[in-house]
Structure 1
Amino acid sequence: MNSKRIKHMVIFNLQVGKDTVEAEQFLKGSAQELAAIPGVEQFEVFRQVSAKTDYDFGFSMVFADQAAYDAYNVHPVHTKYVQERWVKEVSRFQEIDLTLYE
């Protein structure tokens, strides 16, 4: 099993737009729920500032290794979040998972 740290990032847009109370609630609620899942390190929420992309927000987190990332993906809090919030409230997204190039 690969022991390299994994940086998991997702950029996305919300159904409710970017400058709304609902967007603020989604970002804060997501951070509280996801950052509390065991194995999640350095959870950060971002607002897009580049004119080169039309995504509005981003989440970034780090996992110690593939096992920690796999455990996060199947954790009940994560699976419930995806079903009850992400699928309903996110209009489009792009995920990327990176390890340090050595």
Structure 2
Amino acid sequence: MNSKPIKHMVVFNLHVGKDTPEAEQFLKDSAQELAAIPGVEHFEVFRQVSAKTDYDYAFSMVFANQAAYDAYNGHPVHMHYVAERWVKEVSRFQEIDLTIFE
């Protein structure tokens, strides 16, 4: 099992569009819910500024190791969030999970 820290990142677009009041509320709600899950470290929300991609937003967080990441994925708050918010409000996304190269 991976004992290195994992950086989990996801870039995404919302059905409500970019820079709308609904998008701002989604970002705030998501940060509050997801950052509170045990094992989540350094939760950050980003707004895209590059013309090289058409994704609007990103979340980034760090997990101490694979076990912490797995616990997050199976946590009831995360599972409820995915089913009730993410699936319904996110129009498209790309996820990446990274460990440090040594």
Task: Output the TM-score relative to the length of structure 2.
Answer: 0.99
* Cα deviation code 1:59-99 (max 9, x no counterpart): 00000000000000000000000000000000000000000
Instruction: Give the Cα separation in 2 of the matches to 1:87 and 1:93.
Output: 10
1:26 is aligned to 26
Identity %, equivalent residues: 85
Instruction: Report runs of 4+ in structure 1 exceeding 6 Å deviation.
Output: none
5 Å-filtered alignment, 1:35-50, equals 35-50=35-50
Q: Which runs of 5+ in 2 are unaligned?
A: none
* Residue correspondences, number: 102
Instruction: Give the Cα separation in 2 of the matches to 1:60 and 1:17.
Output: 20
1:92 is aligned to 92
Structure 1 residue 58: deviation in Å?
Answer: 0.1
Over aligned residues, Cα RMSD in angstroms? 0.3
Task: Output the TM-score relative to the length of structure 1.
Answer: 0.99
1:51 is aligned to 51
1:78 is aligned to 78
2:67 is aligned to 67
Instruction: Give the Cα separation in 2 of the matches to 1:101 and 1:91.
Output: 32
Q: Which runs of 5+ in 1 are unaligned?
A: none
